[in-house]
Chain A
C-alpha cells in the first residue's frame, strides 16, 4: 500500500518527476554510451591486428615499432637489411613472414610496399581477412591497392592512375612511374583503410633513379628497362611473422632480439597494443569520469526537486503522522520515492542506449570502423544501474533528513 501510495504521489507530480526522470535517463544513457564506445574502441583497437605472432623491426621501442608498422604513425629509425630478413624467414619456427616497406606517401596517405601474402595473412577483428570491394590484388609491378578511406577521400576508382610522392609531406614525386589502381579494399576500421598498398618490388622500382633520398639529376630510367631489372630490395622497414606453434613465439622473439648481425626488435602485437592503450586509454577514462559527473549532477537535481517539494508536502506528512506513522516512515517514503525515480530513470536510460545503438550502430561502423555490438546488458552495466539507484537513495537522505525534522516539529498539525 505504501509503495502504491508512493507511486501515486509521484504520478500526481508527473511533470516535475518526469523532468527529473528524463535528466537521470539522459545522464545514464550518456554514461553507458561512453562506456560502450570506450569498450568498443578498446576492442577495436586490440583487434587492429590479429593472427600475427610477432612484429619485427629495427631496434627501438615496442610502442614505436607498433605505431609505425601497424598504425602508420611516426617513422622507423632504421631498416632491416634484406639479408637479416632472409635469415629470419629461414628460421625453423617461422610459418610465414610478410615484409613491410614504408617511407613514401600519396597525398595524406602512406604507401606501403609488401608481398601479396599480406592480403592473406593480415587479420583484424578476431581473424577477419581483408576483402576487395572492387578490383583485384595487384598483378602488375605498377599496380596499387587502396584502402577504403583513400578511395572515398580522394574519389578514386579501379583503373585510376596515381603518383606516389617521395617521403611523407613531400613535393618530390615519383612522376616517372605512375601507378594504376587495381583494387579497393573493404572498410576495416584499421589503419589499412588509410593505406596505399603496392608490391615490395614497386618500392624498389620507383627508387631506381634515387640516391640518398634525392633523385639523381637528369637520370630517368625508362619503365620497360626497370621491368627488366632485378628489383630485389636491399632493406625493408618491418615484418609480420606467424609462427608454426604458439609455444615457439618466445623462443623466436629471443632469437631475433639477440640477433648478432644487426640490432633488431621483435614484439608481441597484443602486448604492445596494451602498452599503447595504457597511454591513449587515459583520455577515455577521463571521458568516463566526466559522464559519471553528469549522472551525479542529475541526481543532485533530483535532490533539489525533493527539497523544493518539501514545503508543499507538509500537510501530507502531517496526515501520515496523525495516522500513527513515525517520522522515520516519512524518511522512508521520501527515500523510496527517490529510488523509484532513479530506477525509472536508470531503466529508461538503458532503453535510450539500446535505441541509440540500433540507430547508430551501422553509421558508426561505416564512418569510424567502430563496431558496437548490441548485446544483453552486462553484469557491469546492471551494477551501474544499481549504483545509480543506490546513489539516488543516498542523495535523497539529505532532504529526507530535513523532512524528518519538519515532521518532528509539525507533528500532526502544520504550524505555519
Chain B
C-alpha cells in the first residue's frame, strides 16, 4: 500500500498563537508515509494540540508548508481548508466525540454532510455506516439510538466508524483510549488498527502513554520533531 510520496509533509513550519508572544511552535521536518501508523508521544503543553490544528488546517503556519496528500494547505482559503479536512481527514477525539442529541447514524454520517468527495466515496452512506458498525462490533440496532445513551467504549467505536467512513487517507486520533480502561483499550486499538489497515489509511495517534508503542509502525517523540519557544514575558 505504501508509496513513496508521504501523506503528510511538514517543512520548516513555524507558528505563534496570535496575541500570545510567549508561545511558539516550530517543526523543521515531519513526514508520515501513506498507510503508515505513527504514535506521537508528548506530555501536555508540548504543543501537540497546536500541531494537530496545523495538520487539520484550523490554523495556518506563519511560515513553512503543511502538505496533506498533494495539497499544500497554505494555498487554501479558510473554508477551503475546512472542506479539505472534511474530505481527507478522519478525526477521533479523546472523549465527547459525538453529538449527544443525534442518533448514532447521524453522528457517523456527519462528516459526509460537509465533504462532497468523501460522500461520493462512501457510495451508499447508510449501508456503509451499518457495515462499519458491524465490523466494530456495534449492534445494528444502535444506529437509530441516541448517542447519549451509549457507553463510553461504544461512543469511541462510533467515533472510529465516523473517522473511517468515506475512507479518508489519514486518520488523526487525539488520545482516543485515555477514557477507556486497560481491557477496552486493547480491544479498541485492535478494532481501530484492523479498520485503518483495511481502509489503507494512515494513522497519526497522539498520546502520552509510551506502552502503546508496540501497535505502531513508528513512535515519534514530540521533542524530536518540534521545538517550543517560550519567552518569559
Residues of A bordering B, CB below 8 Å: 1-2, 4-5, 8-9, 11-12, 315-316, 318-326, 328-329, 411-413, 415
Contact across chains for A319 and B49 when beta carbons are under 8 A apart: no
Of B79, B82, B93, B100, which is in contact with the most chain A CB atoms at under 10 Å from its CB? B82
Given A12-B100, A319-B98, A322-B91, A1–B109 Cβ distance below 8 Å?
yes
Residues of chain B contacted by A322 (CB below 8 angstroms)? 56, 85, 91, 93
Q: How far, in angstroms, from A325 to B58 measured CA to CA in the complex?
A: 11
In the complex, whether B201 has a CB less than 8 A from a CB of chain A is: no
Chain B, interface SS category: helix
Given A323-B114, A325-B114, A413–B53 Cβ distance below 8 Å?
yes
In the complex, whether B96 has a CB less than 8 A from a CB of chain A is: yes
The one of B96, B102, B110 in contact with A315, judged by C-beta atoms closer than 8 angstroms, is: B96
Give 23 pairs: A residue, B residue, CB < 8 Å, sorted on A.
A1-B109, A1-B113, A5-B102, A8-B99, A8-B101, A8-B106, A11-B101, A12-B100, A315-B96, A316-B99, A319-B93, A319-B110, A320-B110, A322-B85, A323-B110, A324-B84, A324-B111, A324-B114, A326-B78, A326-B82, A411-B56, A411-B59, A413-B49
The one of A5, A318, A321 in contact with B106, judged by C-beta atoms closer than 8 angstroms, is: A5
Say how far B218's CB is from chain A's closest CB, in angstroms: 24
Q: How far, in angstroms, from A1 to B49 measured CA to CA in the complex?
A: 30
Q: Which 4 pairs between the two chains have the least Cβ-Cβ distance?
A: A324-B86, A411-B58, A12-B101, A324-B114
Say how far B124's CB is from chain A's closest CB, in angstroms: 15
The one of B82, B99, B148, B174 in contact with A413, judged by C-beta atoms closer than 8 angstroms, is: B174
In the complex, whether B202 has a CB less than 8 A from a CB of chain A is: no
In the complex, whether B115 has a CB less than 8 A from a CB of chain A is: yes
In the complex, whether B26 has a CB less than 8 A from a CB of chain A is: no
Say how far B167's CB is from chain A's closest CB, in angstroms: 15
In chain B, positions 107-131 with a C-beta closer than 8 Å to chain A are: 109-111, 113-115
| CB-based A-B contact count at 8 angstroms | 78
The one of A5, A324, A412 in contact with B99, judged by C-beta atoms closer than 8 angstroms, is: A5
Contact across chains for B91 and A412 when beta carbons are under 8 A apart: yes
Say how far B183's CB is from chain A's closest CB, in angstroms: 27
Residues of chain A contacted by B162 (CB below 8 angstroms)? 323
Contact across chains for B58 and A5 when beta carbons are under 8 A apart: no
Q: How far, in angstroms, from A412 to B79 measured CA to CA in the complex?
A: 14
> Chain A residue with minimal CB distance to B105?
A1
> Chain A residue with minimal CB distance to B77?
A326
> Chain A residue with minimal CB distance to B57?
A411
Residues of chain B contacted by A411 (CB below 8 angstroms)? 53, 56, 58-59
Of A4, A8, A11, A415, which is in contact with the most chain B CB atoms at under 10 Å from its CB? A8
Residues of chain B contacted by A318 (CB below 8 angstroms)? 93
Contact across chains for A413 and B85 when beta carbons are under 8 A apart: no
Q: How far, in angstroms, from A8 to B97 measured CA to CA in the complex?
A: 17
Contact across chains for A321 and B82 when beta carbons are under 8 A apart: yes
Q: How far, in angstroms, from A332 to B160 measured CA to CA in the complex?
A: 27
Contact across chains for B87 and A324 when beta carbons are under 8 A apart: yes
Residues of chain B contacted by A316 (CB below 8 angstroms)? 99
Say how far A312's CB is from chain B's closest CB, in angstroms: 11
